[in-house]
Amino acid sequence: YRRKNKNDFNDAEAIAEAAQRSNMTFVPIKAIEQQDVQMVLRIRDRHIQSRTQLSNQIRGLLAEYGLIISSMGRAALRKELPEFLEDAENDLTSSSRALFSDLHEELRQLELVIKDYDKKLENMVKSNDICLRAQSVVGIGPITAAALYAAIGNGHNFSNGRHFSAWCGLVPKQHSTGGKSVLLGITKRGNPYLRTLLNHGARTVLKYCEAKDDKLSLWAQRLKKEKHYNQASIAVANKLARIVWAVISKDESYQVNYV
């Protein structure tokens, strides 16, 4: 909507012009409670990123001394780092051993901080009706429920479940021309953190669907057989997004339907 060169006057004119369009999408104003939950999620996510960076740094520094962690993941690091520190026969000097001990303590403190924020989120979720209803959906835990509440509130800003799943970027991208419709991969628009959590929940559904006989689990079982695992995961995430929007916006708990 901006004409000619970019300056403050032309930007303001373009904003005023765009605001009058009926098809313009505006960002909804969050409630104070949503902002509180969102702040806890963002601080927690920053600590998780710091933990990942610290873990990678410890692994890299250990490798320079010829000490390799046997496998990936935090569990292996938590187990083997103290063993390296206690082993007097490895190539660690007294100075490097003290530094690795400091890093180990820093990592342990980060774990405690993250657990503390997990408890904060759980307490917030327990006192929030929207989060409790969201958790009634299979694959939706406290963290995902909190992220949903922080992002969409009561869900009334979306007209239907597909609208919400499209906002999450879980629908196919269109690249059509000349009357020929072409569907590509998912759009990945919207909130990437929320989309990641829904995808994790979908993988949980796929992991445990074999032992269940409700409609969602049977559908997930067919997807696992017919599609690539990643495609099946995105399809289930799309389904979960639609279900959880209906649960939140219609003020109802999720009902498991069996065949």
More confident residue, 191 or 102: 102
Instruction: State the pLDDT confidence band at 258, using cuts at 50, 70 and 90.
Output: low
What is the pLDDT, as a whole number, of residue 143? 95
pTM for the model stands at 0.85
The Cα-based distances of 192 to 38, 114, 253 in angstroms read 14, 21, 26
Rounded distance, CA 77 to CA 103, Å? 12
User: What pLDDT score does 180 carry?
Assistant: 85
Q: How far apart are CA 191 and CA 167, in angstroms?
A: 8
Q: Half-sphere exposure of 13 toward its Cβ, with a 13 Å CA cutoff?
A: 10
Which of 86-95, 98-107, 181-190, 224-233 bottoms out in mean pLDDT, i.e. has the lowest? 181-190
Among 25-29, 67-71, 205-209, name the one with the lowest average pLDDT.
25-29
Q: Which long-range contacts (CB under 8 A, 24 or more apart) does 63-70 make?
A: 65/90, 65/91, 65/92, 65/96, 66/90, 66/91, 67/91, 67/92
- Alpha carbon 121 to its chain centroid, in Å, reads 15
Weakest-pLDDT range from 23-32, 38-47, 74-83, 114-123 = 23-32
Cα(155)–Cα(52) distance, integer angstroms: 33
